[in-house]
Structure 1
Amino acid sequence: MTPAARLSAAIELIDTIDAQRVPAAKALKEWGTAHRYAGSGDRAAISGLIWDVLRRRASSAWIMDEDTPRARMLGMLKLERGLDTEAIAALCDGSRFAPAPLSDGERSALTSRSLDAAPAHVAGDYPEWLDATLAQVFGEDRVAEATAMASRAPLDLRVNTLKAKREKIAASTAHLGTTLTPWSPIGLRIDLGADARNPGIHAEEDFIKGAIEVQDEGSQLAALLSAAKPGEQVIDLCAGAGGKTLALAAMMQGKGRLIATDHDKRQLAPIYERLSRAGVHNCDVRTPKGPDDTLSDIHSSADLVLIDAPCTGTGTWRRNPDAKWRMRPGALEVRLKDQVTVLDRAAALVKPGGRIAYITCSVLPPENNDQIRNFVGRYPDFSVIPPSQTMSVLWDKADDFADATIQSPEGLLMTPRRTGTDGFFVSVMKRAG
């Protein structure tokens, strides 16, 4: 397919997504099935176009002064891809399979309109109802922060230190274009271009042997900041597919007791194969069976309970741009209740002197600072460990990392703009001994 044909296909797909109200991933999968003549490069390019339009949906419509699939695509090409009017016109020349030529109005909009007078939620590309909440945490920087959350994310890998050292894996994955992550001492990064295909990490020998896992650098750092140690009893209370469970196991060096569980047993399904591949032998996976508590034998004895809390996922917008436009206020309320439930459950598991590491992939204060203040209010024998005391894992980069994050009495916040990671909030609380 030519670049112009890919553009036409992407515009048609956006129209389908709008009309049928289907998730973008589902629409892309169905399109690929129905158009088997399209090669992997075509599919990757069309996917890239659609995800970029979703990233810049509001600002692209504003630039074009029109909210249609075609207008959003044209505006995105200017804002996200950096194409000038003539370059866009060359793609839209009306030839076979190409979009229709630019109208006079479209040319004028591409040439003269900007985001200078756009409202914050338009310039930052986020739902208007979230403006006050984002202003609460970012203030006048919310447009810049949200714009960074709309940018394309790199692909980060975590080196499994139970099996390999980062330097060795960096060499063996050099053909993928890996570089060292800026902050995490166990991470590698692959920067992806606009039309880049998936590098196929799961087919790499290092992945098959369990030496690497796909994990955002922010997620790696969140696990490291929990300071899990060899010999401790550690509980991953919201383990899901096991990403942070694997990170905890490596930190514990195979020594101690690691328990992984989740209220949704379906989420736990991949964890067994992942633990086996990673060479983890000290992890007990507890799958819910009926109404009985899977942790009924744990009574105030855990050294560390890690909560990868259910949340709105606002910190992962650059990976899931579709999610931010599908998010509704009611979803936040549901997540807040879930977080209270899991925090209360964790409090009963931690021994005197033990810790709770509360982590969200959200930038919203109600899920982060507010939850921690409310928790400490309910459980006054817990106090927040100042973030500066949890950063020793970052060695010589601790001071620079501290400067990059947003620190508060409740914890620290990473953002794409400040740390180049997904948005993560981390609070480590210690129970009085």
Structure 2
Amino acid sequence: MKPAARIQAAIELMAEIYHSTAPADAIVHGYMRQRRYIGAGDRREISELVYGVMRTYWLLEGILHHFWASPSDDAIQKARRHILIYLHKFKPEFSVVDLFSGEEYAPKRLTPTEQDLLGQVKEFNCEDLSEAAQLSCPDWVYNLLKANNPHNYRAILLSLQVTAPLDLRVNILKSGREKALAKLRREGYSCEPTLLSPWGIRLQERQPLKHHPLLQEGVLEIQDEGSQLIAMVCAVEPGMAVWDYCAGAGGKTLALAAMMQNKGRILATDTVAWRLKNAPQRLRRAGVHNVETRVLDEQAGKWVKRQAGKFDCVLVDAPCSGSGTWRRNPELRWRMDATGFQELLQKQQEILDKAALLVKPGGRLVYATCSLLNPENREQIEMFLKKHPQFAFYSLSYDYANNGALELNPADHQTDGFFAAVLQKSDS
């Protein structure tokens, strides 16, 4: 593909992402799958442009709003102008006037308004924008993050603009980390053991591994190191009864099963059936046979009540803002607003209240999010403990724990942003 055709493809992709609520990576994958003629190199360059625009979304919006009080909300127009500014401001090797030629497969010619915009943008100093816009962050997230991290909020927000590494978790039911590392290195992969997780391997460069034999055989799973640590702080042991309450696709369920050596019982549930759809296949591939999956739909209410007080550990990996995963899911930068965030906080409280009923005396409730925002992390724990005096905060002693809880971010720990707190139920 010619450069102009790649840019037109990026505009089409961005328009679809702006118009949809589906995950951006799924949209990109579907777009490429429907166009088999796009070669590997072209796919890579188109994706780099699309993700570059998404990571700088609020900066691009800030520039547009600086010159126009009300930029167009039309998805195609918005995508086109975001890519125009991104290329003109951050990719000077591209001549946008030549590339936006209107020729076959190329973007339409620049309008007089767009030509005028580019003339102003070229000399524009981004320091004239708010700090939130400069850091490509919505104001409401910026304010929350700065309040809780006054000394390193800039480093955290800048770290969320880079590409995340590819982390793998070794399935200890099938192999040890050193053995898996040795095999990958023999095959030419540049990889190292993760610094915090005892099961993790980090690849120095992102590479397609979906069809690698170690993944197909269940020896390796793709999982961020921070996510692996969430499973680790659950401290589950063989023979326990464990409930992964918001299991999703089952990544943490697999890690818990490995820790338990396939002994005991794990219940993996979610309120949405499609999230659990691939879990059985992943479990079989990993050699896991102590997990039961269930959908928590309207018919499950009575059954759930019968499970009260039966579990040694209940993990609540709660639905959250996803702010800690902006490196991987940059579309989350704009898909949640302050109103939706408040609704989410209420949902988290309701889930915690329900999950607390399932913990047996002396058992543990582990609350986790992939968020960097205090209202859905420590503040949720503080409110929960006031409502549930039978639970107490259990302080984690790991070197990387912060005031007894797990608080990870890309700047300080080179993981996605995660939070986890352990709550111990009294024996009586």
Q: Same fold (TM over 0.5)?
A: yes
- 1:187 is matched with 200
In 2, Cα distance between equivalents of 1:78 and 1:211: 45
Q: CA deviation at 1:423?
A: 0.9
- 1:335 is matched with 344
- 1:412 is matched with 406
- 1:155 is matched with 166
CA deviations 1:169-196 (Å, max 9, x no partner) are: 1122233433322321111122446xxx
Cα 1:141–1:341 change in 2 (3 A) is: same
After superposition, residues 280-291 of structure 1 pair within 5 angstroms as 280-288=288-296, 290-291=299-300
| Aligned partner letter, 1:352 | P
- 1:72 is matched with 82
| Aligned partner letter, 2:244 | D
Task: Among all aligned residue pairs of Structure 1 and Structure 2, give the percentage whose two residues are the same amino acid.
Answer: 39
- 2:75 is matched with none
Q: Give the counterpart of 2:367 among 327, 337, 358.
A: 358
| Aligned partner letter, 1:177 | S
Worse-matched range after superposition: 64-73 or 352-361: 64-73
In 2, Cα distance between equivalents of 1:209 and 1:29: 24
- 1:295 is matched with 304
CA deviations 1:376-409 (Å, max 9, x no partner) are: 0011121111232xx2xxxxxxx3x34xxxx246
Worse-matched range after superposition: 366-375 or 89-98: 89-98
Q: Does 1:240 align with 2:248?
A: yes
- 1:325 is matched with 334
Worse-matched range after superposition: 149-158 or 65-74: 65-74
Q: CA deviation at 1:369?
A: 1.0
- 1:394 is matched with none
- Contact 1:74–1:88 (CA under 8 A) maintained in structure 2: no
Q: Give the counterpart of 1:131 among 142, 147, 151.
A: 142
| Aligned partner letter, 2:339 | G
Q: Does 1:6 align with 2:6?
A: yes
- 2:257 is matched with 249
Q: Does 1:387 align with 2:396?
A: yes
Secondary structure at 1:158's aligned position in 2? strand
Worse-matched range after superposition: 170-179 or 221-230: 170-179
| Aligned partner letter, 2:419 | F
Q: Give the counterpart of 1:212 among 220, 225, 229.
A: 220
CA deviations 1:125-167 (Å, max 9, x no partner) are: 1222333222232235333322212221112111100101111
Cα 1:167–1:328 change in 2 (3 A) is: same
| Unpaired stretches in structure 2, ≥5 consecutive residues | 72-77
Q: CA deviation at 1:424?
A: 0.5
Secondary structure at 2:126's aligned position in 1? coil
- Contact 1:314–1:324 (CA under 8 A) maintained in structure 2: yes
| Aligned partner letter, 1:206 | L
- 1:396 is matched with none
Q: CA deviation at 1:39?
A: 1.6
- Contact 1:157–1:214 (CA under 8 A) maintained in structure 2: yes
- 1:88 is matched with 94
In 2, Cα distance between equivalents of 1:340 and 1:94: 50
In 1, Cα distance between equivalents of 2:370 and 2:213: 30
In 2, Cα distance between equivalents of 1:285 and 1:189: 29
Secondary structure at 2:328's aligned position in 1? coil
In 2, Cα distance between equivalents of 1:170 and 1:49: 32
In 2, Cα distance between equivalents of 1:11 and 1:374: 45
CA deviations 1:244-296 (Å, max 9, x no partner) are: 10010111112222222223333222111111111112222234461434434
Q: How many residues align?
A: 407
| Unpaired stretches in structure 1, ≥5 consecutive residues | 392-398
- 1:58 is matched with 58
Tell me the TM-score normalised to structure 2 length: 0.84
- Contact 1:288–1:294 (CA under 8 A) maintained in structure 2: no
- Contact 2:316–2:367 (CA under 8 A) maintained in structure 1: yes
CA deviations 1:289-313 (Å, max 9, x no partner) are: 6143443443323221111111121
In 1, Cα distance between equivalents of 2:120 and 2:220: 49
- 2:74 is matched with none
- Contact 1:235–1:260 (CA under 8 A) maintained in structure 2: yes
- 2:42 is matched with 42
Aligned-CA RMSD value = 3.0
Q: CA deviation at 1:108?
A: 7.2
Secondary structure at 1:310's aligned position in 2? coil
